[in-house]
Structure 1
Amino acid sequence: MDTTIAFILIFGSLVFFHELGHFIFAKRAGIMVREFAVGFGPKIVGITKGETLYTLRLLPLGGYVRMAGEDMDSVELQPGFRVGLVLNSKEQVIKIVLNQNKQQQDMLFLETERADLEKGLWIEGYDEEERLVRYSVSRKAVITENGKDTLIAPYDRQFNSKSLVKRAMTIFAGPLFNFILAFFIFLTIGLIQGIPTYEPIITGVNEDSPALEAGMQKGDLVTKIGEEKIATWQELASKIQASAEQPLTFEFVRDGEVIQSSITPKAIEQNGETFGQIGVLYESPVEKNPLKAVAYGAEQTVTWMVKIFELLGMLITGQFTIDALSGPVGIYKATEEVAQYGIFNLMNWAAILSINLGIMNLLPLPALDGGRLLFFLFEAIRGRPVDRQKEGMVHFVGIMLLMVLMVVVTWNDIQRFFF
């Protein structure tokens, strides 16, 4: 598969499912979603369905779900504003037109005195005969400005009107869906390719090796080393590697016959360490079982979550530096290498990236989902929310710092791969 196509498909899928988590939980909570975007920057294509604009944007570096009330998108009609009103048969305002000077059919003009477009849903002002009048505003009214229509957002449809639990779940749902996506990718691999059994079955014997000299053959199933039972290849390899130049008694089964043989692992030095080797090859047998595929998907998801947390711990403790991190360029190059080994390796890589994206977003850093969840925790402890302007400033600073970090990481990737 072409690397560019593979990268776009993988990264696009991870972003899509992340934002889909936010979107689904927002809708379940009754929050108005104004836009569902994959990518940042200029819009390539956009489709409006219901109250949501679905867009594909130029820069494939992320995405967002824009929720009503979350980004201070409400329109305030100040006293003296001249607006055009369109009413329905119930004398409710269904459209408020700003910057409108020309008279249109069925449109009333009003010089605004006061308005409440969130809770009370009314607008009051002076009509063309200078009478003070008040009109109720429909919950589905539209504000038109410079030809662009925007639905009003009654307060109960706004993000901040919802309970702490609903807001927290809406934010947490993004990373959660990344973990769910990883599980289903691993599950699909298990269903199609099969699940590794890790049985200690020899699949090849090297020439001039201790194993060949001892009579070991392809297909032998190792069951014991000395008095220690062997159930998996990992146990077999670990025992051999720890026993360099030490005679071991192997028990293995060949065509139903139990055979014993003494083998002394050869000492091999690598990176300043010595380990044993007997010269056998291994390729894990696979088993196709739907129930075990489900367990395999869950096991792999948890295993990689633990590994990524371990790597984060190493970064925090200084065991490796920021130079070891990779950005989009590094991920692209890694995708290029993985793609050479087939579709299943590419799927495995996509699942790992999805878990990584979920965990990175849960870090308690400003502008990330974890940072927002941290503010919700403060709210739960204090009993009242943090001032929205202060929180917004913290997230803004966080976005700036993340952008700087992205530039540094990308520059390191460019130097590493192209210079």
Structure 2
Amino acid sequence: MNIIWVILAFSILVIIHEFGHFILAKLNGVKVEEFAIGMGPKLFGVRGKETLYAFRLIPIGGYVKMLGEEGDSEDERSFSNKSPLRRLSIVAAGPIMNFILAIVLFAVVGYLKGFLIPVVSEVIPQSPAIKAGIQPGDRILEINKHKISTWEDVMGEVAISKGEPLNIYLQRNNEKKTVVVRPMKNAKEGTYMLGVYSSALEKPSFTKSVSYGIRETNSTVKQTFQSLGMLFKGKASLKKDIGGPVTILRVTWAVSKAGLVNLVRFSAFISIQLGIFNLLPIPALDGFWALVSLYEIITRRRINRDKLGTVSTIGFTLLLVLMVVVTIKDVLYPIKL
């Protein structure tokens, strides 16, 4: 049963992403030739007035095929014939839908399960936290000048610290103070820890749940870019810290065993990663086409579509090679869960 939940979760993330492209293409008068759910050979399809809605063999992935997407077309309803601003709205719609979905999923988790507020309930003896003077009842307000709203924010900041000292701004009764804590590595699990726990659960209203969804999405986006920055600075390892499709499936499988609510939360996290990844200015990704549209809006000069098609094809090929390499890395050097 778990494998069904895993496949369903991934399928929904991709379908929502592609639906963003689909609906904006329709609104901008672009002819959508196919809306595919899954990849590979077509199993069956239903043809609408002009669009084929197809289900394909591999139940992970999907795509939207638009007229004139891969080159110049004289048809007024082709993607390439639309203004740069309209094309920008179409390519940006997919990642934006991923962020909206993440907000919704986080809000659902917050409403159903509640969330831990950043108040320390327990401090482990001999831990970095107790050595820094952190006490039960302390409320963590900021870590390295990043605002903390939930306990998940605390865990996220510790995870990306890689053992570097953290400046923790906290409140104790009516007093506010800053303490410096160097997270300790858990040798068994390969993760970092402060040695503090929270059991302060808040059950929010619907309005607060939406606010929680927005905060968690914003926090996850910031932490993702911090992680990317650490990777480029050499503070993170491709071998130990970066996972590909196999790692994602392993984590999703493990999370699904912990219950549906945990799977929903993890799906929100993956939705954000999918949105950010697609916004990278790499040929064949949404970010590349968004960059092209922005260039044409600013310069009012049109880039040759045949050349763009060639660059996109090369970029797509390199992405496939990268995916194969990362998948092999996942198998040979699996990340500890």
TM bracket (short chain): 0.7 to 0.9
Query: Pairwise CA RMSD of aligned residues?
Result: 3.4
What's the counterpart of residue 27 of structure 1?
Answer: 26
Shift of 1:322: 3.2
How far apart, CA to CA, are the structure 1 residues paired with 2:297 and 2:197? 57
Written as runs of structure 1 = structure 2, the 5 A alignment for 1:225-236 is none
How far apart, CA to CA, are the structure 2 residues paired with 1:340 and 1:276? 27
Query: Which structure 2 residue ranges, 5 or more long, are not aligned?
Result: 127-134, 140-147, 156-171, 175-182, 188-192
2:296 maps to amino acid: E
TM-score (norm: length of structure 2): 0.76
- 1:395 to 2:315 alignment: no
1:216-259 per-residue CA deviation (whole Å, 9 max, x = no partner) reads xxxx98379xxxxxx9997x99xxxxxxxxxxxx879xxxxxxx
2:229 maps to which of 289, 293, 313 = 313
- 1:294 to 2:210 alignment: yes
How far apart, CA to CA, are the structure 2 residues paired with 1:339 and 1:288? 24
Shift of 1:336: 1.6
Q: Per the alignment, in what secondary structure is the counterpart of residue 222 of structure 1?
A: coil
- 1:185 to 2:105 alignment: yes
Written as runs of structure 1 = structure 2, the 5 A alignment for 1:37-56 is 37-56=36-55
What's the counterpart of residue 325 of structure 2?
Answer: 408
Q: Per the alignment, in what secondary structure is the counterpart of residue 367 of structure 1?
A: coil
How far apart, CA to CA, are the structure 2 residues paired with 1:16 and 1:73? 27
Query: Which structure 1 residue ranges, 5 or more long, are not aligned?
Result: 75-117, 119-154, 211-219, 225-230, 238-249, 253-267
1:50 maps to amino acid: K
Shift of 1:270: 5.4
What's the counterpart of residue 159 of structure 1?
Answer: 79
How far apart, CA to CA, are the structure 2 residues paired with 1:355 and 1:205? 32
Shift of 1:285: 1.6
CA separation of 1:311/1:61 partners in 2, compared to 1, >3 Å: closer, same or farther? farther
How far apart, CA to CA, are the structure 1 residues paired with 2:46 and 2:11? 18
Q: Per the alignment, in what secondary structure is the counterpart of residue 326 of structure 1?
A: coil
Name the one with the larger strand percent: 1
What's the counterpart of residue 245 of structure 2?
Answer: 328
Written as runs of structure 1 = structure 2, the 5 A alignment for 1:175-214 is 175-200=95-120, 202=121
What's the counterpart of residue 66 of structure 1?
Answer: 65
The number of residue pairs the alignment matches comes to: 289
Q: Per the alignment, in what secondary structure is the counterpart of residue 106 of structure 2?
A: helix
CA separation of 1:271/1:52 partners in 2, compared to 1, >3 Å: closer, same or farther? closer
CA separation of 1:398/1:232 partners in 2, compared to 1, >3 Å: closer, same or farther? closer
Q: Per the alignment, in what secondary structure is the counterpart of residue 292 of structure 1?
A: helix
How far apart, CA to CA, are the structure 2 residues paired with 1:195 and 1:67? 42
Shift of 1:198: 3.7
- 1:386 to 2:306 alignment: no
How far apart, CA to CA, are the structure 1 residues paired with 2:82 and 2:289? 15
Higher mean C-alpha displacement, 381-390 vs 281-290: 281-290
- 8 Å CA contact retained: 2:281, 2:288: yes
Shift of 1:291: 1.2
How far apart, CA to CA, are the structure 1 residues paired with 2:194 and 2:109? 33
Shift of 1:404: 0.5
- 1:365 to 2:282 alignment: yes
Name the one with the larger helix percent: 2
- 8 Å CA contact retained: 1:196, 1:287: no
Shift of 1:269: 6.9
TM-score (norm: length of structure 1): 0.62
1:311 maps to amino acid: S
How far apart, CA to CA, are the structure 1 residues paired with 2:238 and 2:149? 37
How far apart, CA to CA, are the structure 2 residues paired with 1:380 and 1:7? 41
Structure with the greater relative contact order (CA < 8 A, sep ≥ 6): 1 or 2? 2
How far apart, CA to CA, are the structure 2 residues paired with 1:40 and 1:232? 39
Higher mean C-alpha displacement, 359-368 vs 305-314: 305-314
Structure showing greater Rg: 1
2:230 maps to amino acid: M
1:294 maps to amino acid: V
Shift of 1:412: 0.9
1:16-35 per-residue CA deviation (whole Å, 9 max, x = no partner) reads 00000000000000111000
Shift of 1:179: 0.3
What's the counterpart of residue 13 of structure 1?
Answer: 12
CA separation of 1:223/1:319 partners in 2, compared to 1, >3 Å: closer, same or farther? closer
How far apart, CA to CA, are the structure 2 residues paired with 1:232 and 1:327? 29
1:415 maps to amino acid: L
